[in-house]
Amino acid sequence: MLPYDETDPQDIENYAKKLIGKTFYDILREYFKDNELELEKTFNKNKNKGKLGNLIEEYYFYYKPNSNPNPDFLKANTELKVTPYIKNKNGELKAKERLVIGMIPNDNPIETDFEKSHVLEKLQLILLILYFHDKNKDKLDYSIDFVKLFSILGESCKKDLEIIKKDYQIIVDKIISGNAHKLSEGDTNYLGACTKGSTAKKSLRKQYYGKIPAKRRAFSLKQSYMSYVLNTYIVGNISTYDSIVKEDEAEHFEDVVLKKIYENTGLTIEELCKKYNIENKPKHVNSILIYRMLGVKSENAEEFEKANIEIKTIRVEKNNRTKESMSFPAIKIKKFVNENFENSEIYNFFSEKKFLFVVFKKNEADEYQLTGAKFWNMPIDELETVGMMEWNLYRNKFKKGVNFKIEKQKDGKIIVRNDLPKKSETKIFHLRPHARKSKYVINGREYGNGNCKDADELPNGDKMTKQSFWLNNSYIIKIIENTIKKVEEK
């Protein structure tokens, strides 16, 4: 007889809450308390491989793990999800990974109606069991800290559900148009289509609706959304973020965002500051202005936090060009050279990330005025072709070895030049310094006006100024050219 009522979600949750404070090894020890030999055998089997969720299913809830698409607790219509969380340096809790809901069919028709979908069936009621991923411990010593029933149909998730419905439709529309090979997590906000398989090449399957093989993918709740669920619905931390979409607004939140921004087009930065009562213009005034246009008092919005959307402002000159390329986080060179593209930081970043580009163009009076905005994520077919080629261009150069040229200027200043591929040799992104001060250590000699924090180690032991990928300004202009044209046509 089971130690819980398998027909009652509340009783299942109450039983699961007894896990709080225990480790996965504690679960095994309790299950095999009268059989030390079997305990040791099972411990060794699970020590370095296998899923922790499977361990809980078999040794705590007493059912065999399976690939059945039905809810784990069928009689209670409840899904079980065992998932890790981590802590940032500032102590903030964060989901370690996305939450996979179920596979997207490659060789069968997909349900076009969200209300009848497998995704909604799975999200109706989930028993979430969260454990702390401590990289300093063996995984069987991870502690289980939170247990809670979660439903996307709950009143507090009402607005989330509308965004998830739209996300589902975006994914389905791409699939039935024969473009499953162009799916990317960056296409959507809360519900994603993540890849499944050890490598992209091995996961390729024939499409039901198209001829080009597509990667195996699964519906999943994005990591950023799960972090919000963890902090708000599970732990109960009070959110400090304002919501963009108000209760009486029925439009999709991206439409609401663009509508509110476009209501201000034509206004200069000075006029916008006056309208939104921003004095002593801070350095990041453009970002503040955007949030004020959206009715957000802080410097983040609930929907942006959940969807991991980043605002980027772009200044366009009178000639429809922008001087600035767009920077992204610094790379670690020694880690970079040992990555493969499909699992690299740059691939994960651009395949998952969505941006809100807000454009300010210089007018005849030499003042920047709001021109427009658009949501954008990098098309996966660009990332996996040109992007991969350019990524490999830099990786191969670092592996082969960077050559430096030390030049002494007339004023006595020392300049260090390198032979990394230049921006002119790329179409999407290039590498360049990601530090205000330069720092080099070449053959034991130091150069530059920075310190060790400004430098990164090369495979041969030399050091150079930290580097990061930058989106080329010419590529950015192509992305926003229609946004510029809209204003010119008025």
Question: Given pLDDT bands bounded at 50, 70 and 90, which one contains residue 62?
Answer: very high
pLDDT above 80: residue 490: no
Q: Which long-range contacts (CB under 8 A, 24 or more apart) does 9-18 make?
A: 9/73, 9/76, 9/77, 9/78, 9/125, 9/127, 9/149, 10/149, 12/73, 12/76, 12/78, 12/127, 13/127, 13/147, 13/148, 13/149, 16/127, 16/129, 16/147, 17/147
Query: Which pLDDT does position 489 carry in this prediction?
Result: 56
Q: Label residue 58 exposed, middle or buried (CB < 10 Å: 0-12, 13-18, 19+).
A: middle
Q: Are 433 and 420 in contact (CB under 8 A)?
A: no
Report the distance separating Cα 487 and Cα 449, nearest Å: 44
Length of the chain: 490
Can you say whether residue 236 is alpha, beta or left, with left for phi > 0 and alpha for psi between -120 and 50 degrees?
left
Strands 440-442 and 445-447: what pairing?
antiparallel
pLDDT tens-digit series, residues 371-402: 999 999 999 999 999 999 999 999 999 999 99
pLDDT above 80: residue 153: yes
Query: Which pLDDT does position 246 carry in this prediction?
Result: 79
Question: Given pLDDT bands bounded at 50, 70 and 90, which one contains residue 156?
Answer: confident
Cβ neighbours of 371 (radius 10 Å): 25
Q: Which of 428, 424, 423 is nearest to 384 (CA)?
A: 428
Average pLDDT of the residues in 294-317: 92
Report the distance separating Cα 222 and Cα 194, nearest Å: 9
Report the distance separating Cα 142 and Cα 134, nearest Å: 7
> How far is it between the farthest Cα atoms of the chain?
87
Query: Which pLDDT does position 421 carry in this prediction?
Result: 96
Average pLDDT, the chain: 91
Question: Given pLDDT bands bounded at 50, 70 and 90, which one contains residue 193?
Answer: very high
Q: Are 387 and 343 in contact (CB under 8 A)?
A: no
Using a cut of 0.85, tell me whether the model's pTM lies above it: yes
- Residue percentage of the chain with pLDDT more than 90: 75
Report for 233-242, 277-286, 416-425: range of highest mean pLDDT: 416-425
Q: What separation in angstroms does the CA of 300 have from each of 70, 241, 291?
A: 38, 6, 7
Which residues partner with 440 through β-bridges? Answer: 447
DSSP H or E stretch at residue 431 = strand 429-433
Average pLDDT of the residues in 266-274: 94
Query: Which pLDDT does position 42 carry in this prediction?
Result: 73
Query: Which pLDDT does position 236 carry in this prediction?
Result: 84
User: Which range among 45-49, 217-221, 329-333, 450-454 shows the weakest confidence by mean pLDDT?
Assistant: 45-49
DSSP H or E stretch at residue 184 = none
pLDDT tens-digit series, residues 45-56: 666 555 899 999
Query: Which pLDDT does position 488 carry in this prediction?
Result: 56
